[in-house]
Amino acid sequence: MEIIGQKWMLPILWCIADAENQTLRYKELERKVVGITPTMLTKCLRELEKDQLIHREQYPTIPPTVEYSLTERGRALIPALETI
Q: In Å, what is the CA distance from 64 to each residue of 22, 27, 42, 54, 59?
A: 20, 12, 15, 18, 6
Q: How do beta strands 54-59 and 65-70 pair?
A: antiparallel
The CA dihedral of 33, 52, 4, 58, to the nearest 10 degrees, is: -10
Q: Fill in the amino acid letter for 7.
A: K
Residues 6+ apart with CB under 8 A from 73: 52, 53
What does the pLDDT look like over 34-84, one tens digit per residue? 999 999 999 999 999 999 999 999 999 998 899 999 999 989 888 887 776
What is the mean predicted confidence (pLDDT) over 26-39?
Answer: 94
